[in-house]
Amino acid sequence: MQLHQLTYFVAVADTRHFTHAAELMRVAQPSVSQQVRALERDIGAELFHRIRGNLSLTEAGETLLPIARRILAETDAAYQAVRELDQLGRGRVRLGAPPSLCTGLLPTMLAGFRKVYPGIDLTLRESGSRDLQNDVSEGLLDLAMIVDSRRRDRSQLATKPLFVEELVVISAKSRPRPVRRARMKIVDLEDRPLVMFRRGYDLREATVDACRAEGFEPSFAIEGGEMDAVLECVDAGMGIAVVPSTVVKDRFRVTRFDAPGLSRVVRLTYREEIKPSKAVLALHKAITDHVRLAGVLPRGTRALLRRDLPPEARGTA
């Protein structure tokens, strides 16, 4: 089994097409076919069903794919670490985060990081927490910020707390306040039109679960939106929405919940068994520092993060 064979196999698995994989890898199509065949001979099993030009993974292919991704990711990490050596002038970091964090907290932090480390290539992936954990596990991401409510136990992942994020109710300033009181109860959401996120959004799950815990199903004015669409619909007066306090702008009325209210824990996750590159450690530090300076770091979390960082990063957390 050779690395370039695994690279071609992953490319074909992603594109489901030998010719498209060859174009992606900038090699001739016969080379891709030959190397995948050679890999199948070495393994002793077919990796693809080839039926009338349609490709799909066999059971053996499904088993090999996440392993191949991890092998390639670890190899790439080794090359990155050697190239970086003692100088953090180059590197690459792949970060994942839910859309709500990409809208609120991350842009300022990433802009500051880019200013300090202009030579580090940054890739940002927006998705739900479960998908982000899968991507970290398979080596497609180096770090991911995830929401606690969607966290799943994975033995190969380290998952550490970053901060507690309060959820609040936003409404259009052109409309009356949702309740006459300064704060709302969750039960006050009953029969009120909610602008609801699409399925798979962590915020949707948190809101629906809170309503059901109070014995009612929420009513939707409209559903299926991404963060920007939800904010625009609320601003247009279509309904109210439950969102993190970190995404709220001055254009909205903000109503907080009565204690204990609604909140979620944002965590940072990464693969525990892989030594992080200097670029990854630098972004790790930038995230924790930004959270601390933003004033959203809960008591004791900083000590936890410092204790659980790799030894070479503890002096900078």
Say what the pLDDT of residue 247 is. Answer: 82
CATH number at residue 54: 1.10.10.10
- Position 99 scores a pLDDT of 83
97/73 same-domain check: no
Mean pLDDT score across all residues of the chain:
83
pTM exceeds 0.85, yes or no: no
**Residues 37 and 176 occupy one common structural domain:** no
Same domain, 122 and 141: yes
Stretch 169-185: mean pLDDT: 90
What is the tally of structural domains in the chain?
3
53 and 193 belong to one structural domain:
no
> Could you tell me if 31 and 53 lie in one domain?
yes
More confident position, 52 or 217? 217
CATH number of the CATH domain containing 205? 3.40.190.10
Give per-residue pLDDT as tens, 280-301.
Answer: 888 999 998 888 876 554 444 4
Give the model's pLDDT for residue 215.
94
Closest CA to 263 of 153, 127, 147: 147
Question: Does residue 237 contact residue 227 with C-beta atoms inside 8 Å?
Answer: no
Are 156 and 173 in the same domain?
Answer: no
Residue finishing a domain among 55, 78, 101: 78
12 and 65 assigned to the same domain: yes
**Structural domain that includes position 256:** 165-263
Region 235-256: mean pLDDT is 89
Label residue 151 by pLDDT band (50, 70, 90): very low
- Residue 192 shares a structural domain with residue 182: yes
Last residue of a domain, one of 47, 78, 109: 78
The pLDDT > 90 percentage for the chain reads: 35
Same domain, 259 and 272: no
pLDDT at position 310 over 60: no
Residues 127 and 189 in one domain: no
pLDDT interval class at 88 (50, 70, 90): low
Residues 274-279, mean pLDDT to the nearest whole number = 82
Please give the pLDDT value at position 155: 56
Does the pLDDT of residue 150 top 60, yes or no? no
pLDDT score, position 294: 66
Residues 131 and 216 both lie in one domain: no
Under the banding of pLDDT at 50, 70 and 90, the label for residue 222 is very high
Q: What is the mean pLDDT of residues 261-268?
A: 88
pLDDT class of 87 with cuts at 50, 70, 90: low
User: Is 84's pLDDT higher than 90?
Assistant: no
